[in-house]
Amino acid sequence: MSSQKGITEDECYRILFEEIPSSDSSVDSDGNDPTCTTNCASSSVVCSRLSNSSDSRDDSETDDISENNILPSTVPSTVTVNWSQETSVGQVPLFIGEGGVIAEIKNKVNLKPIDLFCEFFFETLIKHIVFQTNLYATQKGKIFVPTNEVKIKTFIGINLYMGITKKPSYRHYWSTDPDLGESSISKLLPVKRFSWVMSNLHLNDNSIAPDRNSQNYDKLYNLRPFLDHLNRKFQDCYKPHQKLAIDEAMVKFKGWSSLIQYMRDKPIKRGYKVWMLCDQSSYNLKFDVYTG
């Protein structure tokens, strides 16, 4: 059996057998199938190839193919294309899902903001931060007192509080001046310990970071475990509704970074650009920081 470039002869017969209308189908007076729309173009090309190759086939090969039910005994040499401006679209299935917060969270009694926060900052993430922070301090080769999960949680809580009550410097929260100091913070964690955690906080191992010239180089390598964790938790804690939207958002930042973008049509024109998949309730299901 002769071979065809790009498609075998058996595949031509198989495609023809699928595309050729049966004798029961309705045709017009010219022999055209009115239901033929987009697939007719591919059938015409295949039929033209088949008509050129079918002359070289002997009767025995045709009989064998007919006996194996590969194609009808009579094969038309051409198929007339009947183009149409109308597109037939199948019925879209109804959306039967129930969107919203998952039942495990919704059914909790006396739910507090800290409980929701812990749903995203899972215990495994805290342990990961503790391990990577101590590892980074070890790699620096200096003597230190290892941190633990309690201190990391306290450090995160203090930073959240600093975002609400802002001062010129973080050291002012430990000031003895009653107008600057915050006793609620100073009694939780010493300022030296807070400074140590802030300078050694880590989320990924620098020793196995991809080289800058490598194809696997990631500008967000140091934050990647944290970003991946949040993306998983955002989807685990919420079931999306039918209507979703993908758009870009801006996180305001005026410092120096190679990730900074300028978007003149955005309310926040300069900062980090983030692609976001959001539910119709404005809940963020997934995000990806644009790295250029």
Whole-angstrom Cα distance, residue 233 to residue 237? 6
Domain locations along the chain: 1-90, 121-202, 224-289
Q: Enter the tokens of residue 138.
A: 């070890």
pLDDT at residue 221 tops 50: yes
pLDDT of residue 87: 74
Nearest alpha-carbon partner for 253 in 270, 234, 233, 232: 270
pLDDT in tens, 58-113: 444 444 444 444 444 444 556 676 777 777 767 778 888 888 999 999 888 888 98
Angle formed by the axes of helices 123-139 and 224-236, to 10°? 180
The arithmetic mean of pLDDT across residues 45-56, rounded, is 46
Q: Greater confidence, 233 or 9?
A: 233
**240, 173 contact by CB (below 8 A):** no
Cα 201-202-208 angle, rounded to 5 deg: 155
pLDDT of residue 83: 75
Whole-angstrom Cα distance, residue 133 to residue 149? 11
Q: Enter the tokens of residue 23.
A: 């004798």
pLDDT in tens, 227-265: 999 999 999 999 999 999 999 999 999 889 999 999 888
Q: Enter the tokens of residue 127.
A: 């342990």
If DSSP codes are grouped into helix, strand and coil, which group holds residue 278? Answer: strand
- The single-letter code of the amino acid at 215 is Q
Nearest alpha-carbon partner for 203 in 127, 286, 259, 123: 127
**DSSP 8-state symbol, 288:** E
Whole-angstrom Cα distance, residue 222 to residue 132? 10
Nearest alpha-carbon partner for 122 in 218, 194, 16, 229: 229
Q: Tally Cβ neighbours within 10 Å of residue 5.
A: 6
pLDDT in tens, 118-172: 888 888 999 999 999 999 999 999 899 999 999 999 999 999 999 998 899 999 9
Global pTM reads: 0.65
